[in-house]
Amino acid sequence: MEDKEREEVITKLLQDHPIEELVKFDDFNMQDKLQKNPYLIVIYKEHYLKEKSILDKMISLKEKIIAEQYDHYRFNYDKELRPNEITTYYLNKDKKILQINNLIRKQQWRVDFFDMCVDGLTKQSWAMKSFLESLKLT
Protein backbone atom coordinates (compact mmCIF):
# COMPACT_ATOMS: atom_id res chain seq x y z
CA MET A 1 0.00 0.00 0.00
CA GLU A 2 2.82 2.41 0.86
CA ASP A 3 4.48 1.82 -2.52
CA LYS A 4 1.24 2.63 -4.32
CA GLU A 5 0.78 5.83 -2.30
CA ARG A 6 4.37 6.86 -3.01
CA GLU A 7 3.93 6.16 -6.70
CA GLU A 8 0.77 8.31 -6.78
CA VAL A 9 2.53 11.22 -5.07
CA ILE A 10 5.53 11.02 -7.39
CA THR A 11 3.35 10.66 -10.50
CA LYS A 12 1.41 13.80 -9.53
CA LEU A 13 4.65 15.69 -8.89
CA LEU A 14 6.06 14.58 -12.25
CA GLN A 15 2.92 15.80 -13.99
CA ASP A 16 3.23 19.19 -12.33
CA HIS A 17 7.03 19.35 -12.63
CA PRO A 18 8.27 17.43 -15.70
CA ILE A 19 11.87 17.28 -14.52
CA GLU A 20 12.80 14.52 -16.98
CA GLU A 21 12.13 16.90 -19.87
CA LEU A 22 13.98 19.72 -18.17
CA VAL A 23 17.20 17.78 -17.72
CA LYS A 24 17.31 16.33 -21.25
CA PHE A 25 19.60 18.13 -23.64
CA ASP A 26 21.19 17.62 -27.03
CA ASP A 27 23.29 19.61 -29.49
CA PHE A 28 20.31 21.59 -30.69
CA ASN A 29 18.88 22.82 -27.40
CA MET A 30 22.02 23.01 -25.27
CA GLN A 31 22.50 26.77 -25.52
CA ASP A 32 18.94 27.38 -24.41
CA LYS A 33 19.25 24.82 -21.61
CA LEU A 34 22.50 26.41 -20.40
CA GLN A 35 20.79 29.77 -20.14
CA LYS A 36 17.72 28.41 -18.32
CA ASN A 37 19.57 26.02 -16.00
CA PRO A 38 20.58 28.51 -13.25
CA TYR A 39 17.04 29.87 -13.13
CA LEU A 40 15.57 26.36 -12.89
CA ILE A 41 17.98 25.45 -10.10
CA VAL A 42 16.81 28.48 -8.12
CA ILE A 43 13.13 27.67 -8.77
CA TYR A 44 13.50 24.05 -7.71
CA LYS A 45 15.64 24.98 -4.71
CA GLU A 46 12.79 27.27 -3.62
CA HIS A 47 10.32 24.39 -4.04
CA TYR A 48 12.62 22.18 -1.98
CA LEU A 49 12.97 24.74 0.80
CA LYS A 50 9.22 25.36 0.89
CA GLU A 51 8.44 21.64 1.14
CA LYS A 52 11.22 21.15 3.72
CA SER A 53 9.75 23.95 5.82
CA ILE A 54 6.34 22.25 5.71
CA LEU A 55 7.98 18.98 6.75
CA ASP A 56 9.74 20.66 9.68
CA LYS A 57 6.43 22.16 10.85
CA MET A 58 4.78 18.76 10.62
CA ILE A 59 7.55 17.18 12.69
CA SER A 60 7.09 19.89 15.34
CA LEU A 61 3.36 19.24 15.30
CA LYS A 62 4.02 15.52 15.74
CA GLU A 63 6.09 16.22 18.84
CA LYS A 64 3.24 18.32 20.24
CA ILE A 65 0.71 15.58 19.47
CA ILE A 66 2.91 12.95 21.12
CA ALA A 67 3.18 15.10 24.24
CA GLU A 68 -0.58 15.68 24.35
CA GLN A 69 -1.36 12.00 23.82
CA TYR A 70 1.19 10.99 26.44
CA ASP A 71 -0.50 13.30 28.95
CA HIS A 72 -3.88 11.87 27.96
CA TYR A 73 -2.77 8.29 28.57
CA ARG A 74 -0.86 9.21 31.71
CA PHE A 75 -3.47 11.36 33.47
CA ASN A 76 -6.87 11.08 31.75
CA TYR A 77 -7.09 7.44 30.76
CA ASP A 78 -9.19 4.81 32.51
CA LYS A 79 -6.19 2.63 33.28
CA GLU A 80 -3.16 3.53 35.34
CA LEU A 81 -0.23 3.18 32.99
CA ARG A 82 3.47 3.44 33.57
CA PRO A 83 5.49 5.70 31.25
CA ASN A 84 7.13 2.71 29.58
CA GLU A 85 3.74 1.13 28.85
CA ILE A 86 2.46 4.36 27.33
CA THR A 87 5.38 4.76 24.93
CA THR A 88 5.65 1.08 24.07
CA TYR A 89 2.03 0.04 23.69
CA TYR A 90 -0.21 3.10 23.36
CA LEU A 91 1.59 5.88 21.50
CA ASN A 92 2.68 3.57 18.68
CA LYS A 93 -0.96 2.70 17.97
CA ASP A 94 -2.56 6.09 18.65
CA LYS A 95 -4.72 7.24 15.71
CA LYS A 96 -3.55 10.86 15.84
CA ILE A 97 0.10 9.85 15.85
CA LEU A 98 -0.39 7.31 13.06
CA GLN A 99 -2.17 9.96 11.00
CA ILE A 100 0.58 12.58 11.43
CA ASN A 101 3.22 9.92 10.68
CA ASN A 102 1.42 9.16 7.41
CA LEU A 103 1.33 12.85 6.49
CA ILE A 104 5.01 13.25 7.37
CA ARG A 105 5.92 10.26 5.22
CA LYS A 106 4.09 11.76 2.23
CA GLN A 107 5.66 15.15 2.80
CA GLN A 108 9.10 13.52 2.98
CA TRP A 109 8.48 12.07 -0.48
CA ARG A 110 7.78 15.60 -1.75
CA VAL A 111 10.97 16.91 -0.13
CA ASP A 112 12.98 14.05 -1.63
CA PHE A 113 11.47 14.71 -5.07
CA PHE A 114 12.49 18.36 -5.10
CA ASP A 115 15.91 17.52 -3.69
CA MET A 116 16.32 15.07 -6.58
CA CYS A 117 15.24 17.80 -9.03
CA VAL A 118 17.85 20.25 -7.73
CA ASP A 119 20.49 17.52 -7.87
CA GLY A 120 19.50 16.55 -11.43
CA LEU A 121 19.60 20.15 -12.65
CA THR A 122 22.97 20.72 -11.01
CA LYS A 123 24.38 17.58 -12.63
CA GLN A 124 22.88 18.65 -15.95
CA SER A 125 24.80 21.90 -15.74
CA TRP A 126 28.07 20.07 -15.19
CA ALA A 127 27.29 17.55 -17.93
CA MET A 128 26.61 20.30 -20.47
CA LYS A 129 29.79 22.15 -19.50
CA SER A 130 31.81 18.95 -19.82
CA PHE A 131 30.21 18.23 -23.18
CA LEU A 132 31.07 21.70 -24.47
CA GLU A 133 34.64 21.39 -23.23
CA SER A 134 35.01 18.04 -25.00
CA LEU A 135 33.85 19.68 -28.24
CA LYS A 136 36.50 22.37 -27.87
CA LEU A 137 39.22 19.73 -27.53
CA THR A 138 38.33 18.09 -30.83
pLDDT in tens, 99-134: 999 999 999 999 999 999 999 999 988 888 887 777
Residue 44's pLDDT band, with cuts at 50, 70 and 90, is very high
Reported as a single tens digit per residue, the pLDDT across 74-93 is 998 888 888 899 999 999 99
Q: Is the pLDDT of residue 97 over 80?
A: yes
Extents of the domains making up the chain: 44-138
Question: Which of 103, 43, 3, 56 minimizes the C-alpha distance to 11?
Answer: 3
CA gap 108, 102 in Å, rounded: 10
What is the pLDDT, as a whole number, of residue 9? 96
Amino acid at 4: K
CA gap 92, 87 in Å, rounded: 7
Residue 138's pLDDT band, with cuts at 50, 70 and 90, is low
